[in-house]
Each structure stands twice: as structure tokens, then as C-alpha cells.
Amino acid sequence: MFFQLFWTYLKIGTFTLGGGYAMLPLIQREVVDRKGWIDEEEFLNMIALAQAAPGLIAVNSAIFIGWRIGGWRGVCGAVLGAVLPSFLIILAIAMVFQDWKEIPAVEAAFKGIRPAVVALIAAPLVKLAKSAKIGWITALIPIAAALLIWLGHVNPVWVIFTTILLTLIVVKLKIKN
């Protein structure tokens, strides 16, 4: 089971570009449709849990599926398989990147790439705001969070912590009344 899970996640981890979310449909095809290790409903539950829990979604899903299918060995296999490809690729790049950056052509290309990267972070906000069904009042939450971090240099950890605490207090007060 260790090797099967390791191999499955290694394949998915090596060939998906675009981060954790992009891995989910491939994981579904491999684990639900082809191998039949878990059924569709449990898979959807797994996605909900992997997103609700902190941490990387791809890793969270690997832990869940690894545990359900193969216990401790399953977890080790799936997590190693999910992490190892990007770890090795980035390690190789990190080893040479400092020298490459000295090459004028590479530096010129990166001058063009940097603003594009900022745009790739900013642009999905439109879609996210839509799918979170954001309203005029609830829009104040992300705006306040962004300003606190950007201009106030508040650590995002505190912003998340405060969100959780305030929500719990508000829900508690609402239930009391």
C-alpha cells in the first residue's frame, strides 16, 4: 500500500502545474474512478475537510486518503509522493538560480515576469469574491484584513486568529439571544 500510494501521488505531483487545487481532479480520477479506493461521496467530504483544515490542500488530501486506505504507511507514502517531486525540482532550481540570475537575458526576462506574477495573484480575487458571495458589508472584512497587513504590517497570523475569535464570540452572542 505504501508503494501504491507513493507512486500514485508521485505521478500526480510530478505532472500537475498550478498548485494544490489543480491536483484535485487528478486525484479524483486516480483514487475514485480508476482505483476505487474510496467512493465519490467520501471524496467530496475529503475535499471539504482538506479545505477547512489549515495547511496545503494537496498535502491535507494526501494525508486523508493515505490514512483511509493504508493507515500510517499509507499516510507516509501519499505525503512523500505528493511532496517529493516539487521538493526535488525546486531544490535543483535553487542550487543554480543564484548563478542564472547573473545572466543579463534571464534578468531581463524576470523584469517582465515580476509584474505578471503580481497580476496572477491579484486577478483570481474577482472569482474568489464572486464564489464567496461577497456583499457590501462583508466586503469590509477582506478590505480591513488587506489594509491591516499591507499598511499596518500586522502579521496575517493575527488577522486569521482574530477572525476565528470574533466569529466565535458573535455566534455565541447570537445563540444566547
Partner 1 sequence: MIYLQLFISFFKIGLFGFGGGLAILSLIQMEVESHGWMTPQEFVDIVAVSQVTPGPIGINCATYVGYTVGGIWGSVLSTFAIVLPSLIIMLSICKAYFWFTKRFKGNPYFEQTLRMLRFTVIGLIASAALMLIKPTTFIDPVSWIIFGAVCFFTVLPQVYKNKVTEILSHPILLILLAGLAGLVVYQS
Cα–Cα distances in Å, from 22 out to 28, 93, 123, 165, 166? Answer: 11, 22, 17, 31, 32
Query: Which of 3, 7, 19, 25 touches partner 1 (CB under 8 A)?
Result: 19
Distance CA 47, CA 83 (A): 18
Residue tagged 497580476 (cell numbers): 119
DSSP string, 91-115: HHHHHHHHHHTTSHHHHHHHHHHHH
Question: Rounded to a whole number, what is the distance in angstroms from the first to the last CA of the chain?
Answer: 52
For residues 30 to 49, the per-residue mask of contacts with partner 1, x marking binding by CB under 8 A and - elsewhere, is ---------------x---x
Q: Which is nearer to partner 1, 4 or 57 (by Cβ)?
A: 57
Contact call for residue 15 and partner 1 (CB under 8 A): yes
Contact call for residue 7 and partner 1 (CB under 8 A): no
Query: Which of 36, 54, 96, 102 touches partner 1 (CB under 8 A)?
Result: 54
Contact call for residue 20 and partner 1 (CB under 8 A): yes
The sign of the torsion formed by the CA atoms of 132, 134, 137, 142 equals positive
Query: Which of 4, 30, 38, 56 touches partner 1 (CB under 8 A)?
Result: 56
What is the closest distance, in whole angstroms, from the C-beta atom of residue 106 to partner 1 in the complex?
9
What is the closest distance, in whole angstroms, from the C-beta atom of residue 93 to partner 1 in the complex?
6
Among residue numbers 74 through 93, which ones bind partner 1 (CB under 8 A)? 75, 79, 82-83, 85-87, 89-91, 93
What is the closest distance, in whole angstroms, from the C-beta atom of residue 64 to partner 1 in the complex?
6
Distance CA 123, CA 5 (A): 35
Distance CA 9, CA 66 (A): 10
Query: Which of 7, 33, 40, 51 touches partner 1 (CB under 8 A)?
Result: 51
